[in-house]
């Protein structure tokens, strides 16, 4: 997993996202996770009143000696142990202490920031019983760009993300075991230094406050939201690459005709065909460019293959947006009737299964591109393109993209392997058999982050093949012209240009993207394209029409 830079999103003075507990969308999450927006809290009296009502309900329950889980009792499998009123606050500190066992590589900064945002917004709903000061501390850390360092191991998505969320709780409150914080300059400082930067001091936790911060699916959900955002960009790149490859392979346009898909009207299939028509600038009044009768399945069945992936990603998005705007604490407080509900919204099953599915979809996207690349480099199937996409007339020892295909072949199986489900592997004996079913959302979401990173690298590989192929096709149509834009639609030109910009070269030269004359190593180009994709640079802007169209599907 890579801790991506987000300088591309902070060129302008940051705007502000105002939190009031109302639903957020994934774009809201991105704007704060990547530093484009500051955060404020509403001054609405209604919001502050509902929070105070829940806080008062906790105080009354403690004063009256009511038996309520996690407030006047122990935690988990030790919930039958009574906790006195005098110890109710200390018990919250102890909760953070025994959860102080995060380990593994630090997870990316944007995931931690997204988590703090979602948790602040959830607490503002007024069903958790915390002081407004807890929310204000989360927002202060976000606005000062202070990010707790959280290890990638430590949650089974059962009582939510207890161990990782406890790192954030320790950071903002100054309670329990210390932790490290990164600053905006990526310098690590101690928790005490971070509190000073934010103008805060350690506070004593009140009953329910430790539990209210650490209990729930917020962290897994934040990672899932960031993963889906990246996956949509990967989907956009894959369609652009497929369209360029289809042009290079002289693909027939009939498989994308609207009539065909009205006959099998799955939403994702219809959209996939429409997107390919737009990217290819299909005009059915023109004769087909191919002399072959019909294309291999990877082209002819593209809408039928990609359609279920599109439909699946829409379901994943609906799940994530529902979960990230849910209250996943326990117990929940209904201030309307002054009742505490001891329940299980903290189970991460929805996010765990959604991330298992997302990893599978990313694997299928890579597998499809891998097949298309295999057609491109093989004279038996590529309709006149040179073997391994070498430049015509080049040296007989020029093997050109052979190594790149091997690289792609090494990445694709790893992405498909990560597509195997994790959620059905849960341990049944966790925490004294109390957490005897688990969502495993944390593991599933972090594996999806790995899958996203590999998919970004594979997308870079695919784009090199796509641009090289259209450059060569252009030269076959007009001898010596290696400007692939001559065979591309206006919708594909920005993608093509972004690939050339990554190596600081202008298209239209007397050589294709890759030749012995233009490059001795592909590594700088692969790295530049990967950076542009993972840092949401020019390539992501270039495929934004595809991503925007996908986003519009959720409005239908």
Catalytic residues: 69
Residue with tokens 């996409």: 389
- The sign of the dihedral angle between the CA atoms of 386, 392, 393, 395 is negative
What CA–CA distance (Å, rounded) separates 224 from 216?
A: 14
For the packed helices 26-33 and 302-324, what is the interaxial angle rounded to 10 degrees?
Answer: 70
Asked whether the beta carbons of 172 and 137 are under 8 A apart, the reply is yes
- The sign of the dihedral angle between the CA atoms of 27, 29, 33, 37 is positive
Exposure class string for 474-490: b at 16+ Cβ within 10 A, else e = bbbeeeeebbbbebbbe
Q: How many CB atoms lie within 10 A of CB 435?
A: 22
Q: Maximum distance among all alpha carbons in the chain?
A: 89
Q: Which of 132, 140, 138, 127 is nearest to 167 (CA)?
A: 138
Helical (H) or strand (E) element with 135: helix 132-143
What CA–CA distance (Å, rounded) separates 357 from 343?
A: 26
| The pair of three-digit structure tokens given for residue 461, joined into one six-digit string | 């590989």
């Amino acid at each position: 997993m890579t801790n991506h830079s987000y300088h591309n999103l902070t060129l302008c003075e940051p705007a502000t996202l105002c939190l009031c507990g109302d639903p957020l969308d994934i774009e809201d999450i991105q704007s704060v996770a990547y530093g484009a927006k500051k955060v404020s809290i509403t001054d609405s009296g209604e919001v502050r009143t509902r929070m105070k009502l829940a806080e008062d309900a906790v105080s009354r329950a403690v004063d009256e000696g009511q038996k309520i889980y996690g407030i006047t009792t122990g935690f988990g499998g030790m919930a039958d142990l009574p906790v006195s009123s005098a110890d109710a606050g200390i018990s919250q500190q102890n909760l953070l202490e025994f959860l102080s066992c995060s380990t593994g590589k630090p997870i990316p900064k944007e995931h931690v920031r997204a988590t703090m945002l979602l948790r602040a917004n959830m607490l503002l709903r007024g069903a958790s019983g915390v002081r407004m000061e807890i929310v204000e501390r989360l927002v202060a850390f976000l606005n000062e760009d202070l990010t707790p360092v959280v290890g990638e191991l430590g949650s089974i998505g059962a009582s939510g993300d207890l161990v990782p969320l406890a790192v954030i709780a320790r950071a903002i409150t100054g309670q329990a075991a210390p932790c490290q914080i990164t600053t905006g300059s990526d310098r690590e400082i101690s928790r005490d230094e971070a509190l000073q930067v934010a103008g805060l001091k350690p506070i004593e936790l009140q009953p329910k406050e430790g539990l209210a911060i650490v209990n729930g699916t917020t962290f897994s959900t934040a990672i899932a939201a960031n993963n889906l955002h990246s996956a949509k960009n990967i989907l956009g790149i894959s369609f652009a690459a497929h369209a360029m490859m289809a042009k290079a392979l002289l693909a027939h346009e009939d498989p994308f005709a609207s009539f065909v898909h009205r006959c099998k009207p799955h939403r994702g299939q219809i959209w996939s065909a429409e997107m390919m028509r737009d990217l290819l600038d299909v005009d059915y009044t023109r004769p087909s460019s191919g002399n072959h009768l019909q294309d291999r399945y990877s082209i002819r069945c593209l809408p039928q293959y990609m359609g279920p992936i599109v439909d699946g990603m829409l379901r994943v998005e609906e799940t994530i947006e529902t979960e990230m705007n849910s209250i996943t604490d326990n117990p929940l407080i209904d201030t309307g009737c002054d009742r505490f509900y001891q329940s299980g919204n903290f189970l991460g099953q929805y996010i765990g299964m959604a991330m298992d599915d997302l990893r599978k979809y990313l694997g299928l996207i890579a597998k499809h591109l891998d097949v298309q690349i295999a057609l491109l480099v093989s004279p038996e199937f590529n309709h006149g393109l040179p073997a391994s996409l070498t430049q015509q007339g080049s040296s007989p020892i020029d093997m050109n993209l052979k190594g790149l295909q091997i690289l792609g072949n090494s990445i694709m199986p790893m992405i498909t392997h990560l597509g195997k489900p994790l959620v059905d592997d849960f341990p049944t004996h966790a925490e004294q058999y109390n957490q005897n079913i688990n969502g495993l959302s944390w593991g599933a979401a972090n594996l999806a982050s790995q899958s996203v990173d590999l998919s970004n690298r594979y997308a870079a590989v695919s784009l090199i093949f796509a641009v090289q192929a259209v450059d060569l096709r252009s030269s076959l149509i007009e001898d010596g012209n290696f400007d692939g834009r001559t065979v591309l639609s206006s919708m594909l030109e920005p993608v093509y240009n972004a690939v050339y910009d990554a190596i600081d070269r202008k298209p239209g030269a007397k050589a294709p993207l890759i030749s012995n004359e233009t490059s001795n190593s592909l590594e700088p180009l692969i790295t530049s394209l990967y950076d542009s994709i993972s840092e949401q640079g020019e390539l992501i802007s270039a495929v934004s029409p595809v991503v925007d169209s996908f986003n519009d599907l959720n409005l239908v």
